A and B are shown apart, each in its own frame.
Chain A
Amino acid sequence: MKKDLISITDYTKEEYLRIMELAAWFEKNPNQDLLGGKVVASLFFEPSTRTRLSFETAISRLGGRIIGFADAGSSSVAKGETLHDTIRMISNYADLIVMRHPLEGAARYAAEVASIPVINAGDGANQHPTQTLLDMYSILKTQGTLDNLNIFMVGDLKYGRTVHSLLMAMSEFENPIFNFIAPDELLMPDEYKMHLREKGIRYYEHREFTDIISAADIIYMTRVQKERFSDPIEYEKVKNVYILRESMLRNTKPNVRVLHPLPRVNEIHPDVDKSEKAYYFEQALNGVFTREAIIAHTLNLK
């Protein structure tokens, strides 16, 4: 049976740990000819330069060849071809599909249609599992463990798919504590809080972004996006409340690290960049090693 990666929950805890182990190995040995003679289809039905370059770097470092497109305008979609037909055709050409699509569920559907494995590089606001795995690798690298961590999530917790997936994945590990900091309009949805309650995991909700972060091991920042608010006045009220400044990190634990899926807008002040607690740029680099690991695992190359 082919191994797809569509949602973060498609993987077991053992697979999370396997990816972490492989990512650490690829970090030490990034250039490996494991994909020699293989073709990977990189299908970006909507542009995402950061994710695409990260994947294509990972494929190149593994010695694979890449076919595909960087946005739907330069693909047959522009002529009205269905996703079904595009995927059927590409299944005949390539050994693996990496795809990004603006519609939710597109990756799950593609995996059902394709005879080759599919890795989801983001389907609308739904899932982006490789981001979650690179977040986990970043947490493991900086904390030395995925157990017993106090994770603060800040900003848009309602629509932010990265925080939802990270919550689901981290809830598989020992004794996590979650702290959610969000405005009323962007609270963590009930279904995720219910999941934590069912697993007996502690979580706390806060409106204010204050020195409560002194307990954090990880501060996961997200963008508060203007278009999420029905009332522009509400946005104006909260947009500057959730900005992390270097001064706020002074009383935090020495091991705390600030993560952000990027791109940021104004939620992390540039003065944080020079702090040793800032980790978001390194986090992006970890993406290449993590994606090498995911590809190797998906194709049973290692």
Chain B
Amino acid sequence: MEENIKKKLKVSAIKNGTVIDHIPARYLFNVIHMLRLDKIENQITFGTNLESEKLGIKAIIKVSDKFFEDDEINKIALIAPHAKLNIIRDYAVTEKKVVEIPSQVVGIVRCFNPKCITNSEAILTKFTVVSKSPLALKCHYCEKITDQEHLQIK
């Protein structure tokens, strides 16, 4: 098992922190942005276009000395529903977590309805998750459903 993981890790190990694995490669930079990783001083390494049995190609992010709150990390569930978190302490995985789609989505997604007020004025979008699988988000303003196919990250 240990051997197996090591084979797949093409990005160097961290001592303490969080590894976010199984991110769809095309959403790597969205995830970085969403978690504000571009704004923090921690050491971060990432790899992308890595082979993945599940996703075809995937991305992975390792953030040293950072442990996410559930609310914070669950934001990425919309674009990386299969993301897995490994919590690392002293080079060992001490905890594994999966992300969960939250019941409310605030400010991350663009409403797909071109006639929605949120697409014409600077308004923080708000959605209620009416279905997690398949994903369906109901806009708090125009009440239209944005589904996985039309999901656009702001």
Binding site for B on A (CB under 8 A): 7, 82-84, 101-106, 108-109, 123-127, 191
Contact = CB atoms under 8 A, between A and B. Distances in A.
B143 A83 contact: no
A103 B115 contact: yes
B145 A105 contact: no
Contacts of A125: 115
Contacts of B115: 102-104, 124-125
A103 B121 CA distance: 11
A126 B121 contact: no
Contacts of A83: 117, 121
B142 A124 contact: yes
B76 interface: no
Contacts of B145: 191
Nearest to A109: B117
Contacts of A191: 145
Q: Which 3 A-B pairs have the closest CB atoms?
A: A105-B141, A104-B142, A105-B142
A262 to B, nearest CB: 23
Given A84-B121, A127-B143, 9 more contacts: A7-B143, A83-B117, A83-B121, A104-B116, A104-B143, A105-B140, A109-B123, A123-B117, A126-B143
B121 A82 contact: yes
B21 to A, nearest CB: 35
Contacts of B142: 103-105, 123-124, 126
Interface centre among A105, A108, A125, A127 (most CB of B within 10 A): A105
12 contacts: A83-B121, A103-B117, A103-B120, A103-B142, A104-B116, A104-B141, A105-B117, A105-B143, A106-B117, A109-B117, A109-B141, A126-B142
A25 to B, nearest CB: 31
Contacts of A84: 121
B118 interface: yes
Contact of B113 (A7, A101, A102, A104): A104
- Number of contact residues on B: which range applies? 10 to 19
Nearest to A124: B115
B141 A108 contact: yes
B62 to A, nearest CB: 40
A105 B145 CA distance: 13
B143 A109 contact: no
Nearest to B144: A104
Nearest to A127: B143
Nearest to B125: A105
Contacts of B113: 104
B88 interface: no
A238 B143 CA distance: 29
Contacts of A127: 143
Contacts of B14: none
A106 B142 CA distance: 8
A83 B143 CA distance: 19
A105 B116 CA distance: 6
B140 A108 contact: yes
Contacts of A101: 117
A140 to B, nearest CB: 26
B143 A103 contact: no
Interface centre among B118, B121, B140, B142 (most CB of A within 10 A): B142
Interface in B135-154: 139-145
Contacts of B123: 109
A103 B140 contact: no
Nearest to B120: A103
A126 B140 CA distance: 12
A187 B116 CA distance: 23
Contacts of B140: 105, 108
Nearest to A9: B143
